[in-house]
Structure 1
Amino acid sequence: MRRTVTLTALCLTAALGLTACNPTSEDGGELATKAMKATRGASSLHVNGDISDSESGKVRLDLSLDKKGECKGTMGLGDEGTMGIIRTGGVVYMQYDEKMLRTQSKGESKADVDAAVKMLAGHWVKMSPTDPDIKDLAALCDLKDLLSDLKGTDTAAKKGKDLTVDGQKATTLTEKDGKTDYTLYVAAEGKPYILKTIMKGGDQPGTLAFSEFEKPVDAKAPAKKDIVDLAG
């Protein structure tokens, strides 16, 4: 799981950035730079979509996060199940469905697995963001770190047609980096945020949509009755 979470963070950065270092095309390169600067400057956003991973299959994301390290959302790992995450006040709360618990407990006795499912499924597990089991996932909640490599300089992005993405007017940008073809949809009105990115080919194809820029992240600790504190 830790490898998949780390890969997801890398894919998010790659999905947001057109990185090929070639001469800029007229208009396209300039717009790409502006889009990445605007997106990098966002204090919060919501990401939703999926990225394929050779180890865990399709990684599904539905996550709101900000630069204060607050986040709330879910992540699905192929056929392994789904987990929820809330990070607030320096504490991480994880919620695993039964399928995820059983998948991650392979090799253990049926009695131990059944006991873990009974205790944890549907509940929130209170954990430290530095816990080795979730350290990479907790780091994914920090938008500042996630966007730190989003520079957008010297891209070979080509400007395409204008269209609408989730009700917002957008301009398309395309670029090829190695075996991966990127298509970015940039807001044509207001700040030029990246609204959507599609990656085809390469090792991690997928589609991610970005929204709710600058909106507060509603990351609140679960009710005490729903929390399991394994640290006692």
Structure 2
Amino acid sequence: MAVNALKRNAVLTAALVCVGVTGLAGCGDKGSDEPFAGQSADDIAAKAVKATRDANSVRIAGTAKPQGAPQTITTDFQVDEKDNCTGTMSMQQAKADVRQTDQTVFIKGNEKFWQTALQGQPGTDKVIGKLQDKWVKSQPGDNSTQGMCDKQSVIAAMDSDKSARKGMKRGETTKVDGKEALVLTKEKSGGEKLTMYVATEGEPYILKSVTEGGKQPGEATFSDYNAKVQVEQPPAGEVVDPKTVAANG
């Protein structure tokens, strides 16, 4: 049961991350005062995908309400190209800390988190009692956490549909967390609108992305590019195997 719970929450978390990187943008022209002079919005977006993929690490924080999710999900993850990852996710009163190191994911959720994740399943109260104040782990290759802390797979999935970043329009420059950014927008069918804020100095990183309307509205901010992601493996005495918990129900 706990394995299935991890899978559902991993999917929701991955959905938020995908919302944040639906469109990426930006590469500057140092020979002009105008950011990205001579480049179309689509060209800027394409270069930003590569820049984001090449970054050693990034912190992604934001909110989203994927289709089918009962409430808004809030996440804050820092992940690197080696899939080291640390962060938090929450949905109303349900909260969980997440760590990944050596391709093993550990999740420590509060009582409300596990109640939400395991709702409708037999023996829920007994299982929750065994998960309280413990780190629930997932072994390498376990699909229950696939995509949760995989930076490269998120970027690859976003870039698989290049039409998603076609037909964008350049806007004005503004600031995001004190950094100058160029605004790119795209109107899609069904009333969906994408707005991206792209750093105009240094590497063409996305600083913020907002999706309005559509199936996955939300927003995310991108920061701490290339910062070292330090993850401590939880003490052995605080770790439980979800398969063992489910088997002993």
Shorter-normalised TM range: 0.7 to 0.9
Q: What CA deviation, in whole Å up to 9, does each residue of 1:118-163 have, x standing for no partner? A: 332222123214335x233xx3211111111444577211111111
Q: Which residue of 1 aligns with 2:151?
A: 143
Q: Distance in 1 between matches of 2:125 and 2:9?
A: 25
Q: Distance in 2 between matches of 1:95 and 1:220?
A: 14
Q: Which residue of 2 aligns with 1:88?
A: 101
Secondary structure of 1:39 counterpart: helix
Q: 1:142 and 1:107, CA in 2 relative to 1: closer, same or farther beyond 3 A?
A: closer
Q: Distance in 2 between matches of 1:116 and 1:7?
A: 22
Q: Distance in 2 between matches of 1:108 and 1:147?
A: 34
Residue 116 of structure 1 pairs with residue 124 of structure 2: no
Q: Distance in 2 between matches of 1:74 and 1:106?
A: 21
Secondary structure of 2:46 counterpart: helix
Shift of 1:64: 0.9
Match of 2:188 among 177, 180, 183: 177
Shift of 1:17: 3.0
Q: Which residue of 2 aligns with 1:48?
A: 61
- Name structure 2 gaps, 5 residues minimum: 25-37, 245-249
- One-letter code aligned to 1:44: S
Q: Does structure 1 retain, via aligned residues, the 8 Å contact 2:8–2:117? A: no
Match of 1:63 among 77, 86, 95: 77
Residue 98 of structure 1 pairs with residue 107 of structure 2: no
Tell me which moved more, 207-216 or 9-18. 9-18
Q: 1:107 and 1:149, CA in 2 relative to 1: closer, same or farther beyond 3 A?
A: closer
Secondary structure of 1:53 counterpart: coil
Q: Distance in 2 between matches of 1:155 and 1:43?
A: 26
Aligned residues: 221
Q: What TM-score, normalized to structure 1?
A: 0.83
Q: Distance in 1 between matches of 2:229 and 2:101?
A: 10
- One-letter code aligned to 1:100: F
Secondary structure of 1:148 counterpart: helix
Q: Distance in 2 between matches of 1:229 and 1:9?
A: 22
Secondary structure of 2:55 counterpart: coil
- One-letter code aligned to 2:149: C
Q: Distance in 2 between matches of 1:15 and 1:177?
A: 16
* Structure with the larger strand share: 1
Shift of 1:14: 4.7
Q: Distance in 1 between matches of 2:87 and 2:120?
A: 29
Match of 1:168 among 179, 184, 202: 179
Q: Does structure 2 retain, via aligned residues, the 8 Å contact 1:44–1:64? A: yes
Q: 1:219 and 1:181, CA in 2 relative to 1: closer, same or farther beyond 3 A?
A: same
Q: What CA deviation, in whole Å up to 9, does each residue of 1:189-208 have, x standing for no partner? A: 10010010000011111011
Residue 74 of structure 1 pairs with residue 79 of structure 2: no
Secondary structure of 2:234 counterpart: coil
Residue 13 of structure 1 pairs with residue 18 of structure 2: yes
* Structure with the larger helix share: 2
Q: Does structure 2 retain, via aligned residues, the 8 Å contact 1:101–1:117? A: yes
Q: Distance in 2 between matches of 1:36 and 1:108?
A: 41
Match of 2:218 among 206, 223, 228: 206
- Name structure 1 gaps, 5 residues minimum: 20-24
